């Protein structure tokens, strides 16, 4: 550990030590690593958070940098890495292109929205949304209540035929099912929340993990992981 940078993190402070060499320096950087998922026994054996950088180079480029471009440099991190490649982003002869999404504006029917953002490509009907963000391609069924929440949306659409087939088979389409309530929560992308689901932290849990179900609670906020399916009538 004496040959690696070490990070100290606490609720009220943080610090960084570049290659601490003395035991006193190391002792001052010990932290409670149980917050990273370690058991108390593992935390006692591994009380440090290492700061590590990973660099990927084409060998010929790296050799040229060291032998020619920065032949007199002594500090790789301080003298070579900070030197950015020169590039003119506004040169008409070297344009930079990006791929547009080309999604339609959000479709909102008979809804009550208060301090809400509804992203492009979303379909929302007969719902109440307040103090919330609804992400791209979100499908929000009728009669939903979403408050103090972030619904990330989806990376893709399911066709009407696909959604109908899923419902007929007892499955859950991507989006938020009709009659669901989401409060003080984050729903990640491509999640499938069924009908009449309540994501409300009913028991008032502060910290909780149901990793196999893709459900987490952090600081009282319910988090539904990306791609998670929450069956109809569930209460979280």
Structural domain boundaries in the chain: 6-50, 107-230
Q: Are 191 and 197 in contact (CB under 8 A)?
A: no
Which pTM does this prediction carry? 0.62
Residues near 74 by beta carbon (within 8 Å), at least 6 away in sequence: none
Query: Which CATH code fits 107-230?
Result: 2.160.10.10
- Segment 135-185, tens digit of pLDDT: 999 999 999 999 999 999 999 999 999 999 999 999 999 999 999 999 999
More confident residue, 106 or 20: 106
The torsion of the CA quartet 118, 102, 109, 189, rounded to 10 degrees, works out to: -50
Higher-pLDDT residue of 87 and 179 is: 179
Contact yes or no for 145/132 (Cβ under 8 A): no
């Amino acid at each position: 550990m004496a040959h690696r940078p070490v990070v100290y993190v606490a609720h009220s402070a943080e610090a960084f030590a570049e290659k601490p060499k003395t035991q006193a320096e190391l002792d001052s950087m010990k932290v409670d690593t149980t917050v990273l998922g370690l058991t108390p026994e593992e935390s006692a054996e591994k009380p440090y958070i290492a700061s590590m950088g990973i660099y990927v180079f084409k060998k010929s480029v790296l050799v040229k940098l060291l032998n020619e471009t920065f032949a007199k440099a002594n500090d790789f991190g301080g003298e070579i890495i900070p030197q950015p490649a020169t590039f003119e982003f506004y040169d008409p002869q070297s344009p930079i292109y990006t791929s547009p999404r080309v999604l339609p504006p959000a479709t909102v029917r008979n809804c009550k929205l208060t301090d809400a953002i509804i992203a492009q490509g979303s379909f929302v009907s007969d719902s109440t949304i307040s103090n919330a963000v609804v992400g791209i391609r979100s499908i929000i069924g009728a009669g939903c209540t979403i408050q103090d929440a972030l619904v990330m949306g989806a990376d893709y659409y399911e066709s009407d035929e696909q959604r109908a087939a899923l419902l007929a088979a007892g499955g859950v389409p991507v989006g938020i099912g009709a009659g669901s309530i989401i409060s003080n929560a984050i729903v990640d992308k491509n999640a499938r929340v069924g009908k009449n689901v309540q994501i409300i932290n009913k028991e008032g849990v502060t910290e909780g993990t149901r990793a196999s179900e893709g459900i987490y609670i952090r600081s009282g906020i319910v988090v539904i992981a990306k791609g998670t399916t929450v069956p109809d009538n569930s209460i979280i």
